Chain A
Amino acid sequence: AADPYKIAHVYGKTGPFEAYAKQSHVGLMMGLEYATGGSMEVNGRKIEVIEKDTQLKPDLGKTLLAEAYGDDDVTLAVGPVSSGVALAMLPVAQEYGKVLLVEPAVADSITGSAWNRFVFRTSRNSSQDAISNAVALGDAGNCVATLAQDYAFGRDGVAAFKEALAKTEARLVFEEYAPTDTADFTAQAQRLFDALGKAEGCKRKIIWVVWAGKGNPLGKLNALNPGSQGVELATGGNILAAMAAYKELPGMEGATYYYYEIPKNPVNDWLVAEHQKRFSAPPDFFTAGGMAAGIAVVEALKKAPSGDTEDLIAAMEGMEFVTPKGVMKFRKEDHQALQSMYHFKIKVDPAVAWGIPELVRELKIEDMDIPVRNRK
């Protein structure tokens, strides 16, 4: 047989994001499996996946990626989990002139200011998250205040959200930023309640929370009876474990990247059924992303059998491929995969351990105007 295609999965297997990493890797493998019809072969050549653990350390990530490209001579690499590691890895792709398919790191700059032409991304970026949420909350008469972490991820998210919300009929009345290590959110809640209390002519008053990492602002805001102030809470989707907290928030609206019951298509049906069978649990947030990446790899190799980088890039630019989330498309300009997002409303079912995001509306690629940010 011909030489196998070697693919490196370089990601933070160990450390705080272990859970995400596991999902991502399972998804990638299932994606490869699905797209090759279970043979793990494409163009008559085997696909071999090499795993490398970045331990969430950017410097290690760089070394491992360089090792994969240089010493292991892989066709392309997939990963990593954290944006910091991803950003450190981007120049390596350029240095070695090989493709890096980013999944599931979300920072805008990966396909923005730090981008180079060897970088593709299947995962959604922060803007897509923020914009979809803005569209979801953008009804006329809505007054929105935001609570975000006081660092890049939070500020960028709010900026994109703000920009998108301006195009809707809703109104942004207040932005609150809290330090990442905030434990007690009473002060922030008080400031938000005060600001929303002063806002006039609002049909609904909503606090949109964008938060990643430790602390649980949503739960803490909710414990303060926002209802008694006439205030609702909103936030995006998350992994199932985190959405357990949403059980306290029936009726909460927002937009999410994936929930296994939402997309209706054969790919997702296969994923849900197989995942349930193999792991007796539904696929989670990052499983879907991993699978999308796996499918993208196979599709790209089908179009560019040589595995040569330039051929791959040419094949992938503008490529459309079918994922558990339906059709995705690598935008030519910045190699970001455009994709649907889902406006949801939380329903509580006592038998389910988490709050169930019920689809309100699918936000299709054309419903969202995702800015291209990689022009220098």
Chain B
Amino acid sequence: MLRTLLSEDFPRSRALTAVVLLIVLGLVLAPFVFPGIRSLNTAATICIFIVLVASYDLLLGYTGIVSFAHTMFFGIGAYGVALSLKAFPASWGAVALGAGAGLVLAMGLALVIGLFALRVQAIFFAMVTLAVASAFLILASQLSGLTGGEDGLTYRVPRELSPALKLVSAKVMDVRLDGRIVSYYLIFGSALVLVLGLLRVVNSPFGRVLQAIRENEFRAEAIGYRTAFYRTAATCLSAGAAALAGVLMALWTKYTGPDTTLSLSIMIDILLMVVIGGMGTIYGAVVGATLFVLAKNYLQVLMASAAETTAGVPLLNELVSPDRWLLWLGILFVLSVYFFPTGIVGRLRGRA
């Protein structure tokens, strides 16, 4: 059973198994073990980013395609739901409609980009997608009548997901069981299904072809694979999964705007999560996303306490002030690439 669920792709290292179990357990119990709005939000963000990063890994780690357009697909999914919930009364039908439309549009766009980009070199593809994604970002802000422009869209979600819903009046373990909890478990469940699905795809014969293309595209052609087709298919699949992650994001935040879904900085975060976690392993996405989202959410808190302890030291205090958190994030970028050249998963497996 577990074998099938995990597609016979096990962590293959005791340490990694422990880490993954810890993460899953942490996420399952998050609302009760770490109460508070901030931590619940962190947990939900982790779930969403795990899907997003895993879908990107399908492209980057498994197929060897560097794309900067992944947030675009993420955004399309989110905007799909946002627009639909804005246009229609908040119902599950509207959510499904928006999600469906986003999915179709994302995959369609991925198809177009894929078909075009097959003609150009790998690194060109990266730059092309960078340009396309930034144009899309500008377009989204320009079509303000539709998308709310820079300001984004705020909307209501189905009643079951809003705090207004009270499941039981009493608190369980000091936590109120309201729509937010429902919402969280919806996101957790969907993320789990999507990640297992992606794990299945990369271990299927199709996934193996992608790896072969990554290794030696010329040779893959010579043994009879139409690599153009496979690469496009991978692009579409990953775009679709990203769009679904966007749907989850839209449902969770009840707000969709360029800064939460389309921006280049999210794209860079995704890249970093894949690389820190370990490319070409879905487990890497899980570990990378978790660590990075945690770091990003609590870096400022950490620095605030560092700033307190160094209150007397002039320059140092300036450097560790929470306002300079970006500085440390940048340093984190550099260091994590150095210390985890094969990703955390590579590290853990190497030791085991």
Residue numbers of A with Cβ under 8 A of B are 13-15, 18, 53, 56-59, 62-64, 66-67, 70-71, 82-84, 87-88, 90-91, 95, 107, 109, 114, 150-153, 155, 179-181
Contact = CB atoms under 8 A, between A and B. Distances in A.
B141 A63 contact: no
A152 B151 contact: yes
B37 A87 contact: no
Given A59-B253, A90-B154, A152-B149, 20 more contacts: A14-B323, A15-B326, A18-B323, A57-B259, A58-B255, A58-B259, A59-B259, A62-B253, A62-B254, A62-B255, A71-B36, A83-B150, A84-B150, A87-B257, A91-B154, A91-B254, A91-B255, A114-B154, A150-B142, A151-B142
Interface-centre pick from B148, B259, B326 (highest chain A CB count, 10 A): B259
Given A18-B323, A59-B255, A179-B138, A84 B41 contact: no
Interface-centre pick from A67, A91, A152 (highest chain B CB count, 10 A): A152
Given A53-B322, A151-B142, A155-B144, A58 B152 contact: yes
A181 B62 CA distance: 35
Contacts of A109: 151
A91 B148 CA distance: 16
Contact of B149 (A58, A66, A95, A151): A151
B36 A59 contact: no
Contact of A83 (B38, B151, B255, B323): B151
A150 B326 CA distance: 30
B225 interface: no
Given A58-B255, A63-B37, A180-B138, A88 B152 contact: yes
Interface of B: 36-38, 41, 138, 141-142, 144, 148-152, 154, 163, 253-255, 257-260, 300, 322-326
Nearest to B140: A151
B257 A153 contact: no
B141 A180 contact: yes
Contacts of A58: 152, 253, 255, 257, 259-260
Name the prevailing secondary structure of the A interface residues.
helix
A102 to B, nearest CB: 13
Contacts of B255: 58-59, 62, 87-88, 91
Given A71-B37, A71-B38, A151 B257 contact: no
A184 B258 CA distance: 25
Contact of B37 (A67, A82, A91, A155): A67
B38 A63 contact: yes
Contacts of A13: 322-323
Contacts of A91: 154, 254-255
A70 B41 CA distance: 13
Contacts of A70: 37
Given A14-B323, A58-B259, A67 B38 contact: yes
Given A13-B323, A152-B144, A107 B151 contact: yes
Contact of A66 (B37, B260, B326): B37
